[in-house]
Amino acid sequence: MPSYSETTGLPPDFRVSYSLFSPEEGGRKRPHYQHIRWDFSYEAIATRNLLFMIWPEFITPAGDMLPEGVPMPQHGLADMFIISPHHREFHTRHIHRGLRGYLHEGHRVGVCEVVEVLGLHTNPRR
């Protein structure tokens, strides 16, 4: 599968470092794979019932996309792509380096922190 950047013609909106919860911590029991469609939520902003459609694409420290079909590392980096345009203005106001958030699939499966803002302010509305 091509990267989201290749599919959309746009760079990622921001990059996070992530750490996934173990099954004992309430995390995923099965491995996660490239292009899993998790959601993102903010740690310090009450957005409990909003689905933002911000999807991760797991990358190497050098920024290369990790391959499809193999389990992704428990800790690492992911480029984040805002798929839905409905809350883009909200994210532009709130996402910044150092922001903490969570990865979701109906419940929290990991914690993340924004390490770099990429195309967030320059990507056109989708």
Number of domains in the chain: 1
Q: Is 113 exposed, middle or buried (0-12, 13-18, 19+ CB in 10 A)?
A: middle
pLDDT of residue 126: 55
Task: Look up tokens 């193999």; give the residue.
Answer: 70
Which has the minimum average pLDDT: 13-17, 72-76, 106-110?
106-110
Flag whether 60 is in a domain: yes
Flag whether 102 is in a domain: yes
Phi-psi region of 49 (alpha: psi -120 to 50; beta: other; left: phi over 0): alpha
Model confidence over 39-93: pLDDT tens digits? 898 887 766 667 788 999 999 999 999 999 888 999 999 999 998 888 889 999 9
Q: What gap in Å lies between CA 101 and CA 29, rounded to an integer? A: 21
- Return the higher-pLDDT residue of 125 and 15: 15
Question: What is the extent of the structural domain holding 112?
Answer: 15-117
pLDDT of residue 123: 84
Flag whether 84 is in a domain: yes
- Return the higher-pLDDT residue of 4 and 17: 17
Q: Is 13 exposed, middle or buried (0-12, 13-18, 19+ CB in 10 A)?
A: buried
pLDDT of residue 19: 97
- Return the higher-pLDDT residue of 47 and 17: 17
- The rounded mean pLDDT for the chain is 90
Structure tokens at 80: 């984040």
Flag whether 9 is in a domain: no
Q: What is the mean pLDDT of residues 84-106?
A: 91
The domain that contains 87 carries what CATH number? 2.40.30.10
